[in-house]
Every structure is written in structure tokens, then in C-alpha cells.
Amino acid sequence: MTHWRSETICTAYNAGQLPGPELPEVVFVGRSNVGKSTLINVLLGRVSKKIAYVSSKPGKTRSANFYRIYTGGAGVQTFCLVDMPGYGYAARGRVERENWWRLVNGYFAGGRDTAFVIHLIDFRHGPLGGDRELTDWLGDLDMPRLVVFTKGDKVPKGRKKAFYEKYVSPGMLSLLPPFVTCGKNDDAAERLREAIPKIIAELRDNLC
Ligand SMILES: Nc1nc2c(ncn2[C@@H]2O[C@H](COP(=O)(O)OP(=O)(O)O)[C@@H](O)[C@H]2O)c(=O)[nH]1
Ligand SMILES: [Mg+2]
């Protein structure tokens, strides 16, 4: 089992509070409540003693949270994970939506060393409102994207293959075939933990 050491660098509520670019960054994006913070806790081995704030109520995280990771394994050994606030929460008002956009746009326009984005999608529903816009926007930015499905445990075993094919066959763009996670430190989480530093290294080497 791969083990990552981690520490919190910063919590930014607006673009002015973003930390200086220091290390390659892997950014978790997706709708509110899709499971971004849960997956970060799983990857960091923090299932019982959480580091990223998890809530059953959507729209709770309004900040971008930066975690410094030391892997000790193959690929790039030190990088950052960024937990971005989610979108698609209908009850959010106009001012909050504008704040969200300023923070996210400020992040991506800031000339940072973003290696790639992990786009989380609820496996029960597939891409929903906001997910397609995000995909198009990331495409316009030439930002590499890895798709990770969450809440795979909520789809009956016998239907998982059909769900997967339905989402992936229209040509879903992803650096690797999408992972299906269940909010647990299982085989999929372990494969993702191994893949992330390798993808950062490969993207970097391709640029040299
Ligand atoms: N069953 C199940 N629940 C999950 C999974 N991922 C997240 N959750 C739950 O979904 C809710 C929202 O999770 P959270 O990580 O806070 O979502 P975020 O808003 O995207 O950061 C919480 O109640 C989590 O326990 C998963 O893979 N399976
Ligand atoms: Mg969250």
C-alpha cells in the first residue's frame, strides 16, 4: 500500500489569498457534494482523522484548499493537491456564484504550474449541468483532465459495466480510462495514488 505524507499549505477564499506557485499542482474539480474532499482524505489516508472538510450538505466548501504531498514512490515525489469549491449547487445566490468564478478563474489564469485536473463525476448520474461547461472550458485552456467517478458503491454491481460504457463510449476525454471510486481506501484508490505522480512526471517529460 502506497503511503503519502501530507500537510496543509493554505486555505484561500479569494484569488488574492492563493499561495505562490511552488510545486506542480493537481486540482480536484466537480459539482458540490460529488466527493472531492472525501477522495482527498482517502488518498491521504485520512479516512477517520479527516484533513479535508467533508459535509453531507452541498455547497459547504467555499475555499480552495492546498495540500503538500510527499509520496516517497515512483514519479514526481513532491506536489500539491488542490481541493476546489464545487459548482452546480442550485441554492447558491448570484454573489456566491460570482465569488466562486473569481476564485476558480483567478486560479487558472494565475500562470501556476497546474499539472492536470481531476474531474470528479457522480457515477450514478454521469456528467450533469456544469460538468459539460467545465469540460469545454478546460479544453479551451488545453488543461489535461483525468476523469474519476465517485459513489461507485451506490450503483448495483450488475449495472456498473453498463453505466461505465454509457459514459465513456461517447468519447469522454481523460488522460487514463476513468477510475471508479467508492469513498474507501480500496484498490481503485491505491491505483489512483500510484497514477497521480506518474502522470505528473510524464506530462513534465513530454514538455522537455
Ligand atoms: N457512498 C458514498 N458516499 C460518498 C462518496 N464520496 C463522498 N460521499 C459522501 O458525499 C457527501 C459529500 O462529500 P464531500 O467529499 O464533502 O463532497 P465535496 O463537496 O465534493 O467535497 C458526504 O456525505 C460524503 O460522505 C462515495 O464514493 N460513496
Ligand atoms: Mg469539499
Among the bound ligands, name the one nearest to the CA of residue 61: 2
Burial class (CB in 10 A: 0-12, 13-18, 19+), 61: buried
Residue 174 has pLDDT above 90, yes or no: yes
Phi and psi of 205, rounded to 5°?
-65, -35
Among the bound ligands, name the one nearest to the CA of residue 41: 1
Give the model confidence (pLDDT) of 176-208 as tens digits: 999 999 999 999 999 999 999 999 999 998 876
Topology annotation, domain 5-207: Rossmann fold (3.40.50)
Residue nearest (by alpha carbon) to ligand 1 atom 28: 151
Asked if 120 contacts 43 with a C-beta cutoff of 8 angstroms, the reply is: no
On whether the pTM is more than 0.85, the answer is yes
Answer whether 153 contacts ligand 1 (Cβ < 6 A): yes
Ligand 1 mutation pick, 33, 83, 134, max ligand atoms within 8 A of CB:
33
Sign of CA dihedral 115, 121, 126, 130: negative
Domain residue spans of the chain: 5-207
Give the model confidence (pLDDT) of 53-93 as tens digits: 777 776 667 899 999 999 987 778 899 999 999 987 666 67
Counting other chains too, the contacts that 74-78 makes at CB distance below 8 Å and 24 or more residues apart are 74/194, 74/197, 74/198, 74/201, 75/196, 75/197, 75/198, 75/199, 75/200, 75/201, 75/202, 76/24, 76/115, 76/197, 76/200, 76/201, 76/204, 77/197, 78/23
Nearest ligand 1 atom, CA 58: 19
120 contact partners, CB below 8 Å, separation of at least 6: 28, 29, 30, 31, 34, 35, 36, 39, 148, 149, 150
Answer whether 33 contacts ligand 1 (Cβ < 6 A): yes
Residue 49 has pLDDT above 70, yes or no: no
CA of 207 to the centre of ligand 2 (A): 32
Asked if 52 contacts 46 with a C-beta cutoff of 8 angstroms, the reply is: yes
